[in-house]
Amino acid sequence: MTTTLAGKKLRFSQSIAIQVLIPMVVIGLLALGSMLVSLLVTVNTQHDAEAINTAGSMRMQSYRIAVLLQQASSGDDTWEATAEALSSEYQLFSKKLYQSSITRAAGKSGQNPIKDNYSRVVDNWESSVVPILSPFLAGQFVSTESITKANENYLALVDHHVADIDNLVLSIQKNTEDKIELLGIYEGLSIFLSFLALVFIVMRADQNLVKPLKDLVRAAEHASIGDFSYRTYYEAVNEIGLLCSTFNDMSASLARHYRKLEDLVNEKTVQLQQSNQMLDFLYSTAQRLSEGPIDRQTLTETITDLKKLTGVSQLSLCLANEASKDQYDLILPAGDQHSCRLDDCVKCFMRPDKKHLAQGETSFPIEDASDNFGFLYVKNENNRALKPWQQRLIEAVAEHLSFAMALQYQEGLSRRLMLFEERSTIARELHDSLAQSLSYMKMQVARISKLFDRNAPEEKIREGLEDLQQGLDAAYKHLRELLTTFRLKLDVPTLYLALKTTIDECDKMKEDIDVVLDYGLVHCPLSPNEDIHVLQIIREAITNAVKHSKANLIELVCEHGDNNKVIFKVVDNGIGIPDNPYKDHHYGLSIMQERAELVHGTLAIGPSSEHAGTTVALTFTPEVFR
């Protein structure tokens, strides 16, 4: 089992578990050995106390034998009683000597003082004491002299015999004490070794577990607050060392990732700020180009801000000259003083159609599908290519300029077209109304002149003058109507507001007439030309209703029809309209009819279907739906 750790090998023997397990096994073995030694000592000393007691009783018996022999020699006891008592003492002593715990103690001790002392006691008993007691033991009659002699012999050796027994007791006692001392030494050694092992375990645990874990906890606390610079100090080749090394590597990796994330966040923040600046600039550019006419100051401000935002070294705006398509007007950012180095715009190297632009130079055309308005020339510092965001921003500005200039051009064209159409309408109205009235009056003047030349009666001349007066009155009246029509202005942003203004003006013409508006056109775009014609027709219809219908309610209804058509109706509750409403020297209805035809619509004039009165209805399809 090996694990790579910072270029080292983690062997099985270097494991903390093994290093802790070995001292614990040693402590366990010491404890087990101590128990085994205690058990052995206990077993070996089990009969030592009994042997000592038995040996002590053997000394007493030796003295009792001496007392019995003394009594027998003095005649206190008969020899039969003495023989019986000595036989009993002999058997008891022999049993203790040969069949007691003393025998077992001497037999299991090997060659040691116990066995030597035991052998001397046995030899002394068998060779010295037993021969003295044998006459008594045999049951033979023993004379007094023999008893006295036996007593003297026994008294002569009893002290030596008792001394041998004492030596045997001392040897047994010393052997027991040696065993107990050995047990104490072993127990003390076991305790000492166990203490050393415990100290070793505590020191190793403190060095390899407690301190490294505390250090890991501190490292984790630093990591929890985002500080990945803290490193653990422990570098031993073991599991904790592997954990610390891995934690250090993880902290270093997280620190690198955090730095990368911070750099990425900073980069994205810069990009977002840059994008925000770009959006603000594009918004302000679009607003600046849409607020009013695109003049030189507006374009100068736009390219000045563009150069400042992109940081390019040179930026030039060349706009096509209206007088010549091969000439361009140069517009530079504020503060740039250099002028064009070429007088011939056809040969200009900055034009988008030129293929020899150097690296770092780019021209962006400003054009739409049909018209070319110029180009935007950009040169970066040190001939470096434009960055993608610079390229996108300049392209967007070029598109804004193209759209704004195209829109301005189309609006100018539309205004000129509207002016031309309105002038054509005015010319037709003048031709159809005032010109015809003047022609009629010219004919009346010629007729009256002829009557004067012929000296015609005064009645005919007066009749001609009255016709001329009526024609003049009608022409003057129609001239005032035309002037009112021509002075009409559409200075409000929507058709609804223009109609509302017209309704308010007509409502004030007579206090007894209510003029109301019911506008139901939603999201219906009309062209400016259609707005003018619709407003003229409705204004004429409401004016006629106010003057001639004798109504007290006039309603303007604007609604959607079928097939994307729109319907404008002027409805009154007046006296109605004749079947043939067209009159001599009155051209209002004819002009309304012509305006309806100009918007490709129909004008219907007739009685109201719901109540008495007149309805003027204009129906047409807006240009956007045609």
Secondary structure (H, E, C), 376-439:
EEEECHHHCCCCHHHHHHHHHHHHHHHHHHHHHHHHHHHHHHHHHHHHHHHHHHHHHHHHHHHH
Residues 574/545, Cβ–Cβ less than 8 Å: yes
The span from the CA of 138 to the CA of 86, in Å, is 11
Among the listed residues 392, 479, 493, 371, the one whose alpha carbon sits nearest the alpha carbon of residue 435: 479
Cα 234 to Cα 4, 14, 209, 249, 317, distances in angstroms: 16, 15, 10, 13, 69
Beta strands in 514-600, from DSSP E residues, in sequence order: 514-519, 553-560, 566-572
The span from the CA of 199 to the CA of 206, in Å, is 10
Give me the count of residues in the chain: 626
Among the listed residues 332, 421, 411, 325, the one whose alpha carbon sits nearest the alpha carbon of residue 374: 325
Pairing of strands 514-519, 553-560: parallel
- pLDDT in the model for residue 620: 93
What is the tens place of the pLDDT at every residue in 480-531? 655 655 555 555 667 888 888 888 887 777 778 888 889 888 777 788 778 8
What's the distance, Cα to Cα, between the start and end of the chain in Å? 88
90 vs 264, higher pLDDT: 264
Which domains does the chain show, CATH number per domain?
A: 22-215 (1.20.1420), 292-405 (3.30.450.40), 489-626 (3.30.565.10)
The span from the CA of 539 to the CA of 533, in Å, is 10
The span from the CA of 233 to the CA of 248, in Å, is 9
- pLDDT at residue 479 tops 70: no
Widest CA span in the chain? 237
Among the listed residues 399, 333, 328, the one whose alpha carbon sits nearest the alpha carbon of residue 365: 399
SS3 619: strand
Element (H, E) at 607: strand 601-607
Helix 388-429 × helix 588-598 angle, to 10°? 150
Alpha helical stretches, state H, 45-112: 48-74, 79-99, 101-107
Determine the distance from the C-alpha atom of residue 258 to the mean position of all C-alpha atoms in its chain, rounded to a whole number: 14
- pLDDT in the model for residue 94: 79
The span from the CA of 408 to the CA of 414, in Å, is 10
SS3 507: helix
- pLDDT in the model for residue 482: 59
How wide is the angle at C-alpha 286 spanned by C-alphas 284 and 287, nearest 5°?
Answer: 60
Contacts (Cβ under 8 Å, ≥6 apart) of 464 = 444, 447, 448, 451
User: If you average pLDDT over residues 157-185, what whole number do you get?
Assistant: 81
Q: Confidence band (pLDDT; 50, 70, 90) for 434?
A: low
The span from the CA of 527 to the CA of 489, in Å, is 15
The span from the CA of 311 to the CA of 381, in Å, is 9
- pLDDT in the model for residue 618: 92
- pLDDT at residue 253 tops 70: yes
The span from the CA of 289 to the CA of 536, in Å, is 33
SS3 363: strand
User: If you average pLDDT over residues 67-74, what whole number do you get?
Assistant: 77
468 vs 394, higher pLDDT: 394
- pLDDT at residue 451 tops 60: yes
How wide is the angle at C-alpha 65 spanned by C-alphas 158 and 148, nearest 5°?
Answer: 80
What's the sign of the alpha-carbon dihedral 176, 179, 183, 184?
positive
- pLDDT in the model for residue 2: 37
- Looking at the chain, the number of H-run helices and the number of E-run strands are 16, 11
pTM: 0.47
Residues 315/376, Cβ–Cβ less than 8 Å: yes
User: If you average pLDDT over residues 130-144, what whole number do you get?
Assistant: 74
What's the sign of the alpha-carbon dihedral 284, 290, 296, 299?
positive
What is the tens place of the pLDDT at every residue in 321-380? 765 666 677 888 887 766 665 555 655 656 655 555 666 678 888 888 777 778 888 888
- pLDDT in the model for residue 420: 66
On the CB side of 454, CA atoms within 13 Å amount to 11
- pLDDT in the model for residue 425: 63
Average pLDDT, the chain: 77
362 vs 99, higher pLDDT: 362
